[in-house]
Amino acid sequence: MRKAALHNLGCKVNAYETAAMQEMLEGAGYEIVPFQEQADLYIINTCTVTNIADRKSRQMLHRARKMNPKAVVVAAGCYVQAQEEEHHPADPSVDIVIGNNRKKDLLQILDEYMHGRETVKKWGTESEKSLPAGQQEEAAQGAEPENSRAFARQEKAAGGRKNGAAQRSTLLSRVIDINHTKEYEELHLTRPGEHTRAYIKVQDGCNQFCSYCIIPFARGRVRSRSMESVVEEVRGLARNGYREVVLTGIHLSSYGMDFRQAAQNREKIESSGGMNIEETEGSRAGWEGTDLLSLIRAVHEVDGILRIRLGSLEPRIITEEFVRTAAGLEKLCPHFHLSLQSGCDATLKRMNRRYTTEEYYDKCCLLRKYFQNPALTTDIIVGFPGETEEEFAASMEFADKVDFYETHIFKYSRREGTKAAAMADQIPESVKAERSQRMIELGKQKQAAYERSFLGQEVEVLLEEQMETGGRKYQVGHTREYLKIALETEENLQNCIRKIRITDDLQIIH
């Protein structure tokens, strides 16, 4: 049996896609082994959010090649997509490149490579973006153009690889122009890695273009998964025993925006006496009620699912109507991650974030108005170009005011190809580190205070795994607010919900 190993870098969306590729391989008869073991096939789902992520992606590709010089090494995802956009040369460690929106074709691409059905062309002489217009459209929709790419690898002067590896002369590349596709890549999962909680990708792409972020160029524009497809997958997960789902996407708050835009375009064409509805590009039934709130309601109706969580949200989606309706959905957990990035308006403006701190604070107050003691979490970047000590102090003061449960702190990392990378007044690493530590300390204080607010309360915990420490056995799980709780017991209560009274802060673990 052929052996395959996969490694994921980056976000929850990447993790979902990696798990979906693993299911494809299992269905095709591959034995999945840990990444550190020798395999016939290595797949690295890469990340490009920072220069550090790029470096980690390259390191994992080179590690795979070193572990088995004869293996087929596949580089997939954002790093290779961005490298293609920026016209970087091929990595000699890689046999196959699969860009975003092509992971669904993994088995077909592997078959093409294994059977050598590609016409070998010199690196850089042809790409899907240089094909005739008709073939460009096919490529953008995920179809296989007649002249698909296969580039010659630039072998080192010594030729071949060491350790007896057979020489390989071709790199098979499947990378579409992600910025000009409207297709949502359909991937499906029946058995996610976790046993109780399943992450479900419902959206891809981003239209925000924050000044520090390369992701819109690596993931393309907003594309949403049909509600029917999401609900079908959730039903399957419920049948397989999953009790909790997390709806996630690259820019989750934009879910359905592309559907609504297509509907508006269709209405314009119809009102002008143009095409019939069937002829309108991207037309599909059921445009109404295709926003994130409608999707949450649809998932809420699935029997067997007891909890729904949401991935990262943009503050602007938090309206009175949204929160009031959401609060009436008992399965929706009071745990909201609202991306902040900075608590200083001047910094937010340079970041091209489209809200002010006042607007953000109002959204937090709305959530606290309709949900009892909800867990509010966020991300904050310190050391963004031009961040003065006064701006950082304003950011600290705002984080103190909001009282987040968890604050994920990131030192600004320069990413070539973004506007922020070219900004003046880049902050020294030593200053970033010092500011990061101060913000982390504040975050710890806020987290401890939030956790103490649950002392003496009875909470509902979905138990997920067993833990043993000091000779004692515990079942560990999460509350609806995502506090991690330990219950001392000899029973196996995995995937069960129990009410537990928190009498000691030692019951809350990290």
Contact 208, 354 (CB under 8 A): yes
pLDDT at 261: 86
Tokens 């179809």 belong to 143
Contact 100, 77 (CB under 8 A): yes
Contact 118, 170 (CB under 8 A): yes
Contact 280, 266 (CB under 8 A): yes
pLDDT at 266: 72
Contact 201, 17 (CB under 8 A): yes
Phi, psi of 173 (to 5 degrees): -120, 125
Q: CB under 8 Å to 232, separation ≥6 — which residues?
A: none
Residue 117: count other Cβ atoms within 10 Å of its Cβ.
11
Contact 211, 418 (CB under 8 A): yes
pLDDT at 86: 66
Compute CA distances 509 → 22, 125, 458, whole Å: 31, 56, 16
From first to last of the 510 residues of the chain, give the pLDDT tens digit: 899 999 999 999 999 999 999 999 999 999 999 999 999 999 999 999 988 999 999 999 999 999 999 999 999 999 999 987 666 777 889 999 999 999 999 999 999 998 874 444 333 333 443 333 443 443 333 333 333 333 333 333 233 344 334 444 468 899 999 999 999 999 999 987 777 899 999 999 999 999 999 999 999 999 999 999 999 999 999 999 999 999 999 999 999 999 988 887 776 776 666 544 444 334 444 455 689 999 999 999 999 999 999 999 999 999 999 999 999 999 999 999 999 999 999 999 999 999 999 999 999 999 999 999 999 999 999 999 999 999 999 999 999 999 999 999 999 999 989 999 999 999 999 999 999 999 999 999 999 999 999 999 999 999 999 999 888 999 999 999 999 999 999 999 999 999 999 999 899 998
Q: Which two tokens stand for residue 169?
A: 């002369």
C-alpha 196/C-alpha 316 separation (Å) is 31
